[in-house]
Amino acid sequence: MTAALLAGLLAGYGIAVPVGAVAAHLVSLTARTSLRTGVCAALGVATADGFYALAATLGGTALAAALRPVLGPLRWVCVLVLLALAVRSAAGAVRRHRDDGAPGRPRATPPGPAAAYLGLLGITLLNPTTVIYFAALVLGSQGGAAAGVPERAVFVAAAFAASASWQFLLAGGGALLGRALTGRRGRLVTALVASAVMTVLALRMAFSPGQT
């Protein structure tokens, strides 16, 4: 049981810690909204990681092999979604920056906690390579089908908890960043930098060698 707990924690941190487009979007979203919205968005990311951890423990290599033929099309869907998010975030930041300088102009309504949760859940689920990662780790450390139900449950719960704790840390950083950059120019720069990061990572995903 302890081995399953440690394996789940390592798996959760292993997939969550590398900074990617989702992390950049999470930090930017929290900086523009509130800590409550950021925490809900973080739970969306962790839910997707937990789902893939569960799918990997149940399906193992069979599920990974079934998903492999569609990884290419789904990767391009993910690229397009990330580019659309980057463009939307940058355009919204410029529009808000202009509206702040024009008295009487209505301000755009930021996404609420529920919308943030569903949005980040959907974006993270679009990355099916996560299930390949979890399947390989399960088979390597848990023995695949040899692991019992309690061990699998502990593994999934630990992976979810590890991912959630890291996403909460990112959301907290976004909240602190939002408080530090409260001016019009600060909010604009934050959103544009996050959009640039998402664009670069999306293009890297699109043109990285070895992707199927």
Number of H helices, E strands in the chain: 8, 0
Low-confidence stretches of the chain (pLDDT < 70) are: 18-20, 59-68, 70-71, 74-75, 78, 82, 93, 96-97, 99-110, 127-147, 179-188, 190-191, 194, 197-198, 201, 205, 208-212
CB proximity list for 14: less than 8 A, separation 6 or greater:
133, 137
Identify the pLDDT of residue 143. 45
CA dist., res. 31 & res. 187, Å (int): 8
Q: Write out the two tokens for 84.
A: 């659309």
pLDDT at 186: 65
Asked whether 89 and 189 are in contact (CB, 8 A), the reply is no
For 96-153, what is each residue's pLDDT tens digit? 667 665 554 555 566 789 999 998 998 888 766 666 666 666 555 544 444 577 888 8
Residues in CB range of 101: below 8 A, 6 or more apart: 184
